[in-house]
């Protein structure tokens, strides 16, 4: 797995504790979970961040028994 980025894929702002979750493979963005799952592909880092936010919201609901 090679981590690369292009300036056009640069995020606007990603909190520091999340930035290490993202990587690019073959020009597509992915993020990793605490469970060590790779989720993606996304066309850009902004979409990957939105995907991560949705995943975290879902997991929090599961943990709370919703």
- How far is residue 62's CA from residue 40's CA, in Å, rounded to a whole number? 21
Domain housing 47: 15-63
Inside any domain, residue 48: yes
Domain count along the chain: 1
Q: Nearest CA to 2 among 34, 28, 33?
A: 28
The per-residue pLDDT for range 1-14, each reduced to its tens digit, is 545 545 455 555 55
DSSP 65: T
Whose tokens are 């709370």? That residue is: 64
The per-residue pLDDT for range 28-54, each reduced to its tens digit, is 999 999 999 999 999 999 999 999 999
Inside any domain, residue 57: yes
State residue 9's pLDDT score: 53
Sign of CA dihedral 34, 38, 40, 45: positive
Residues 6 or more apart whose Cβ sits within 8 Å of residue 3:
23, 24
């Amino acid at each position: 797995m090679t981590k690369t980025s292009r300036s056009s894929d640069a995020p606007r702002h990603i909190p520091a504790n999340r930035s290490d979750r993202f990587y690019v493979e073959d020009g597509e963005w992915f993020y990793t979970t605490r469970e060590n799952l790779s989720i993606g592909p996304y066309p850009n880092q902004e979409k990957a961040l939105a995907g991560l936010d949705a995943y975290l919201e879902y997991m929090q609901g599961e943990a709370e028994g919703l």
